[in-house]
Amino acid sequence: MYAYKSTLTLVNNFFCNDYNIYAEHDWEWHWNSVFNRPLLLQDNIVGGPYCGGNVWSTPGGTGFSDTHADANYDGICDAGHRIDDSGTRTVGTDAYPLVYGGSVQVNSTVTGAYVSIDGTNTTLTTNRSFYLPVGEHTISVSLTGYRNPDSQTVTITNAGLSDPVTFTLTPIVHPTVWSVSHIAGNGNYTDVSLIPDIGDGGDTIQIWGTDGHTYAGGINITASNVTIQQWDGSPVRPLITATSKTSTITTNASNIIIRSLDISNNQNNPFYGGGVRVNGGTLTIEDTTITNNSVTDSGAGVWAHNGTLTIENSIITNNTAVDSGGGVSVFTRI
Ligand SMILES: [Ca+2]
């Protein structure tokens, strides 16, 4: 729309044009325009829960409403939209620009789970409605003490309420088997770091090995009686590599077993234990490849301090330490 020397009141409208408003500047003219009303809990023009200002959209999705965040998912953008005339004098500000989207109810069988939308933790909990922009969104939930259910995808069309999404939460009981695969689904975790609770009492972490896929290291095991191993039936030993200046796997608890893993290629040069670092406790390594790791001090493949370490049927090659123990460095006993 075009405005020149006019007084405008534009409230609860849906603008979706390449250029929604053009206000002609005049040095003599002082704008006195209204672009929003006080927030009111009442359905707005695009079905959002609050009336306030207007939708400022464009067909290409580049309008103010399309590009600004709504952190509490109430259908109102977090920032106001100031509209200037052609001479950069302010015509007015829409303090409550509307989001163009639709509502979806997110439920969980146990209340109080945190909701993530498109990978961002909203810090809001389930059993409430979220107003989301038109398009496809990935919704997931998490609650301490419960397994993370698979994420769900919703498509928001602005054609009214979307079907509610409900997540079934299952309590974590130890011992449990945690499944890790880079192929998400069926309750898998895509990396070991995403497992919510590795607990005492005999948990098993099974990792699906695929040629060409590397899992992130920096894994700390501080619970006792934990076995971390190749998922039976997967084609190769899963490759795990630290991606920061840490050991790939660090253990410090009794009766830990590492079985049929490939703990290799940590070239990030931590001081000790590029592959495996034993800080105490009891560790058994079986049928495992530990190769091509490097450290700036000692114990490139395996570094053990104050622990009890057993290594069987394993390949430990081409590990490089600046100081001592390219393969294995031990302070106490093996
Ligand atoms: Ca908001």
HEC states along 170-236?
CECCCCCEEEECCCCCCCCECCHHHCCCCCCCCCEEEECCCCCCEEECCEEECCCCCEEEECCCCCC
Tens digits of residue pLDDT in 92-122: 999 999 999 999 999 999 999 999 999 999 9
Q: Residue 326: is its pLDDT beyond 80?
A: no
For residues 300 and 322, membership in a common domain is answered with: yes
For residue 58, report the phi and psi dihedrals to the nearest 5 degrees: -135, 155
State in Å: Cα 152 to ligand 1 middle.
23
Tens digits of residue pLDDT in 220-238: 999 999 999 999 999 999 9
Residue where a domain stops, chosen among 132, 167, 202: 167
Least confident of 2-16, 88-102, 190-204, 242-256: 190-204
Tens digits of residue pLDDT in 274-287: 999 999 999 999 99
pLDDT category of residue 187 using cuts at 50, 70 and 90: confident
State in Å: Cα 43 to ligand 1 middle.
15
Residue 172 lies in a domain: no
State in Å: Cα 96 to ligand 1 middle.
8
Residue where a domain stops, chosen among 167, 188, 203: 167
By three-state DSSP, how is residue 64 classified?
helix
For residues 76 and 58, membership in a common domain is answered with: yes
Q: Residue 334: is its pLDDT beyond 90?
A: no
Q: What percent of the chain has pLDDT over 70?
A: 99
State in Å: Cα 106 to ligand 1 middle.
17
Instruction: Give the total number of structural domains in the chain.
Output: 3
pLDDT of residue 135: 93
For residues 207 and 279, membership in a common domain is answered with: yes
Q: Taking all residues of the chain, what is their mean pLDDT, rounded to a whole number?
A: 94
Residue where a domain stops, chosen among 99, 124, 159: 99
